[in-house]
Amino acid sequence: MTAPSQSLPAAASGTKPLDPRIETISWILLVLVMISVPVWGSIYAVYMACLISINVIATVGLNITVGYAGLLSIGHSAFLGVGAYASALMWLHLGTPLAVNLVIGAVAAFAIGLVFGIPALRIKGVYLAIATLAAQYSLYFVFQQWTSVTGGDRGLSLPKIDVFGFGDTGFYYVVAFVALIATLAARNLFRTRIGRSFIAVREKDYAAQVLGINVVSTKLIAFGIGAAYAGIAGALLAAFLRIVNPDQFTLVSSVFFLAAVVVGGRGSILGSILGALFMTLMPEFLREIIALVSIEGADLASLLSPLREIIFGSLIVLFLIFEPRGLVGFVDRALGRSENVEARQEH
Amino acid sequence: MALFLEFSLIGLASGGIYVLAALSFVIVYKATNIFNFATGEMMMLGTYFFYLFDTQLGLGWIVGLGMGLTSAALLAIVIERVMLRPLIGRPHIVLVMVTFGVGSILRGFAGLIWGPNVRQLPETLPRKPIFLGDILVPGKLAWGFVTAGVIAALFMIYYKFSRAGTAIRATSTDQITAESLGINIRAVFLLAWALAGLLTAASGIITASVNGVTPQLGLVALNVLAVVMLAGMTSIGGVIIAGLFVGWMETIVGAYLGAAWQSFIPYLVVLVVMIVKPYGLFGEQRVERI
């Protein structure tokens, strides 16, 4: 079952670049929509927009690792947890401002990520998946058991944050701004030497090595950047929900982020945005549907969590089988970019 | 010393369960080259099938066992045929992601149908403790170990001497040569998954006969992965030694350092194996360093 070699690694980025004018216009439209959410939206819409922005950051991070570098990480939410706890602890004990907490969250997640990544990435194969699964379980365990620092199952409660005296709206703008910067940074990363080398390593590690790329350090950087993005997202999540507890960072939420990457489109920044959007809104619709359909007295909460597991898993399986390019594939087709060798290419 | 021996025996007995699950993992990996992250969930669902036929439908444990194992094998066949077969030839990472997704689906279904609470299996294994001199071993654990040993032995005989077992071994050595010699590779894949379904269900039922079954039973998968990595992914014989060793070490650490440390053992094993000997103790040197 070796991969057939007829897939042509013609265009390095996998898909043909979008017309720059269309791309610029889409970015401007996105920014306008993001700015205007608090104007036309209810409090609930602002809340969801915050959540979506945070999930976009985490999904972009996982997409760098899984989509661009071709490394399977299945413990992404554990690194969100590291970022969340690190920033919450900084905040509670040292009273540092949010900007510092974000950096600390990113650095902490990067460092912990490397602890799990270094042994696994020296060898070829699915070892990173095993190591990240181990990270998922053991970090959850640390969050839960190290009561004196993490507060155990009850977790940590954080004070309310007030940005420029605008309350929730102000905080939304902070989150949206960070998400925008993170997304743009990721997009530009793949125009630099480092970003391109991620793709080269994914396509053929031997060839990349021949080209003078240090495969191991490239993989480590790709995995570390993914974890750092998760750390930033985790730090924002902590500030947003004002509570950090172990149950936010379980295997289910790692499946959630992997599904967001696969559904959106691996190796695509646009895909990460679409995937995070889809995956954040989907459970909300699901809740509405269950509330409509269900009989009186049925326990909604107990239905919802297994249903989410089924749907997240099914989305991963179905998209990988039927539309490996994810929602981006649909977008491409809608824009009339027909399927060709480059567009079909997969990693 | 007597206490140490007692813990050791308990540990070895609990390791026997890992052996069965790890065998199922290895057979799939060898035959189809797929790294099956749904092993733990297959264990859990196989156990629920047994519970369904035996207790919920009241068919008794002999019929329940037969139908439970059959359903588990059928489930494994469906996973292979419907979800993994269309992906043959695609990159390895895609197949692994699919098994991960399958695991999530199976967990969800178990939670949906049977709920999050513990379900106790009927008392099929004798409860009476076994005394070896001064040493006491809980009856269920001891008989569970014996059962696991018998199943593992039967499996090894089948794998070594039957025609189908030979076909699996041939496929694992070289797929293209095996196919050109007239071995039906697709049938081999199905057979490997069916065997994996049987083995996971058996190990799940034995595990659950001690503690009952919850949707969280699949979490044991990390311990199983540790066993598989220590054994070296492809070694059937190595799995037995590695399984017993990991079970033993867990119990000893849990007994002397506290249960909290026990949870780190699988991860520690995985880490040490990756750093020191990536192809495990008995594995083929398929693994490459970069």
Closest residue of chain B to A69, computed from CA coordinates: B93
Q: Is B212 on the interface with A (CB under 8 A)?
A: no
Contacts of A23-32 with C-beta under 8 Å, sequence gap 24+, read A26/A270, A27/A184, A30/A180, A30/A273, A31/A180
User: Mean pLDDT, to the nearest integer, of B29-36?
Assistant: 87
Lowest-confidence pick of A187-196, B136-145, B171-180 = B136-145
Q: How far is A270 from chain B (nearest CA, A)?
A: 20
| Residue A239 and residue A163 in contact, taking contact as beta carbons nearer than 8 Å | no
Are β-strands A243-244 and A156-157 bridged in parallel, bridged antiparallel, or unpaired?
antiparallel
Closest residue of chain A to B108, computed from CA coordinates: A306
Q: What's the alpha-carbon Rg for chain B, to the nearest Å?
A: 19
* 3-state helix, strand and coil shares in percent for chain A, rounded to the nearest 5: 75, 0, 25
Q: Is B100 on the interface with A (CB under 8 A)?
A: yes
User: Mean pLDDT, to the nearest integer, of B33-39?
Assistant: 88
pLDDT exceeds 70 at position B177: yes
A2 phi and psi angles, rounded to 5 deg:
-80, 150
Q: How confident is the model at residue B62 (pLDDT cuts 50, 70, 90)?
A: confident
CA angle, residues A100, A221, A150, in degrees to nearest 5: 45
Q: In whole angstroms, what separates CA B98 from the centre of its chain?
A: 19
Helices (H), A95-204: 98-121, 127-145, 147-150, 167-189, 193-203
**For position B136, what pLDDT does the model report?**
75
Higher pLDDT among residues B290 and B261, named by residue: B261
Closest residue of chain A to B278, computed from CA coordinates: A123
**For position B116, what pLDDT does the model report?**
82
Closest residue of chain B to A258, computed from CA coordinates: B97
DSSP secondary structure of B246-287: HHHHHHHHHHHH-HHHHTTHHHHHHHHHHHH-TTTTT--TT-
Percent of chain B exceeding pLDDT 90 equals 22
Query: Which among A125, A262, A310 has CB closest to B109?
Result: A310
Separation CA A122–CA A119 (nearest Å): 6
Coil, helix or strand for B38? coil
Q: Which residues of B touch A315 (CB under 8 A)?
A: 101
**For position A284, what pLDDT does the model report?**
85
Q: Which residues of A touch B275 (CB under 8 A)?
A: 119
User: Mean pLDDT, to the nearest integer, of B59-77?
Assistant: 89
**For position A343, what pLDDT does the model report?**
41
Q: Which residues of A touch B290 (CB under 8 A)?
A: 122-124, 205, 209, 215-216
Mutation for B interface: A133, A136, A143, A199, most B CBs within 10 A = A133
What DSSP designation does B54 have? I
Among A150, A168, A145, A165, residue whose Cα is nearest residue A46: A168
CA angle, residues A43, A47, A51, in degrees to nearest 5: 170
Q: Which residues of A touch B98 (CB under 8 A)?
A: 316-317, 320-321
B90 phi and psi angles, rounded to 5 deg:
-85, 165
Helices (H), chain B: 2-32, 39-51, 61-78, 92-114, 139-161, 163-173, 175-180, 185-211, 221-231, 236-257, 259-262, 265-276
What string of H, E and C letters represents the secondary structure of B208-252? HHHHCECHHHHHHHHHHHHHHHHHCCCCHHHHHHHHHHHHHHHHH
Separation CA A227–CA A78 (nearest Å): 9
**For position B219, what pLDDT does the model report?**
81
**For position A160, what pLDDT does the model report?**
74
Name the token pair of A341: 């060798």
* Contact (CB<8Å) B111/A3: no
Among A216, A130, A127, A215, residue whose Cα is nearest residue B278: A127
Instruction: Give me the residues of chain A with pLDDT under 50, please.
Output: 1-15, 340-345
Separation CA A21–CA A55 (nearest Å): 27
* Contact (CB<8Å) B102/A317: yes
Closest residue of chain B to A251, computed from CA coordinates: B104
**For position A341, what pLDDT does the model report?**
39
